[in-house]
Homo-oligomer: A and B are copies of this chain.
């Protein structure tokens, strides 16, 4: 199966699942993602204290719908998961239209859209529908069925760790708690899965790669509670993978540090790519970088997006659907994240072992016998590497200064290392 087919199949299989902070919808989602790369899935018990938070009761969803006065089944969550307010408490009974309306949510400004509403920490039940549909509801008695249950279960998290030559890690976090929406969020876990698959197929990885799949906020907090100190010690660069599916220019949101290795690699890779892109500063009300970049951790975690949350009108509604998000869009994001990984893998720091004057390149057989134009460029690359390899300049810095690609610098640096003129640091 091609990557395109994998993404296409998963978009459709994952679409109807009732994802939430907890529950079988999440478990099924992680199981399907495990077809792409094998995830290590684990549960954190309800009631576990994680920093200032408590893991909530598990929410079990069976079915939810309303029977209108004419006997028609409407607002059926099996038709669209968004119809049910996520984490609704159980209810069964007959109510008047006025009573029902106290439990209905619409978007008057977007009358065609069903809103996405959650009620994680206040127990209530409710249904979401388009504002247009609301006006068509007839007077009369409505029969309501919300067959859900809260139980002392667990919260489902998954991860995959791809070991590399170094224990230093590149980190990716994505979330799997949103039901039937496409850019936010199916694009995120699919981008992460495909990227993990590609990296798992590599014969050689310099860094260890860690991918985590968690419910947003509480999941990231629980993960940090377990692994925060490990990440502080080992993380070279990290990214929150979300909103990667729209056909828009890339937006890179910097880590809180603002000039971390994550930021330098992402901006470098985007510049090398050549297409226009946006960069914005960290703000503390985005996605899970809120937790990773909280001041107690301050991890080097940025986020590369195509159509960030809150910036497109379909966000958090039923209009954020599979018409907007194509497999090709998602794979382009996989490419971009892979280019960042390549930048991190290639960005080394060298030390000139003969720092007094230039070495005599002829003696080291470093004058190639190809045509003059190529030779001249290669000699300049050699001279940049020798001159700036003083332990203060990595290859990204030398690339920016010299205009030579990272790939070319990396290859020539290997030649110079083999000639004992450079030594790789770190």
Interface positions of A (Cβ within 8 A of B): 50-54, 121, 217, 220-221, 224-225, 228, 256, 284-285, 290-291, 293-298, 352, 354-360, 362-363, 379-380, 383-384, 386-390
Known: A256-B387, A284-B386, A355-B295. A121 touches B362 (CB 8 A): yes
Known: A256-B387, A362-B121, A386-B284. A296 touches B380 (CB 8 A): no
Distance in angstroms from A361 CB to nearest chain B CB is 9
Identify 8 residue pairs between A and B in the complex whose beta-carbon atoms are under 8 Å apart, listed by A's number.
A52-B360, A284-B380, A285-B379, A285-B383, A294-B355, A295-B388, A296-B354, A297-B356
- Pair A290/B383 contact, Cβ less than 8 Å: yes
Closest to A224 in B: B357
- Pair B360/A53 contact, Cβ less than 8 Å: yes
Distance in angstroms from A267 CB to nearest chain B CB is 20
- Pair B355/A296 contact, Cβ less than 8 Å: yes
Closest to A364 in B: B52
The 9 A-B residue pairs with the shortest CB-CB distance, nearest first, are A296-B355, A284-B387, A296-B356, A295-B390, A52-B359, A284-B383, A295-B355, A221-B357, A291-B357
Known: A383-B285, A384-B284, A387-B284. A295 touches B51 (CB 8 A): no
Known: A290-B383, A294-B387, A387-B294. A354 touches B52 (CB 8 A): yes
Complex contacts, A284 vs chain B, CB 8 Å: 380, 383-384, 386-388
Complex: how many Å from CA A383 to CA B290? 9
- Pair A291/B51 contact, Cβ less than 8 Å: no
Complex contacts, A228 vs chain B, CB 8 Å: 356
Closest to A221 in B: B357
Complex: how many Å from CA A27 to CA B358? 26
Instruction: Identify 18 new A-B residue pairs, CB closer than 8 A, beyond the known A290-B357, A295-B355.
Output: A50-B357, A51-B356, A52-B359, A53-B360, A54-B360, A121-B362, A217-B358, A224-B357, A228-B356, A284-B383, A284-B387, A290-B383, A291-B358, A294-B356, A294-B358, A296-B354, A296-B356, A298-B390
Complex contacts, A51 vs chain B, CB 8 Å: 354, 356-357, 359
Known: A256-B387, A290-B383. A296 touches B357 (CB 8 A): yes
Complex: how many Å from CA A360 to CA B298? 18
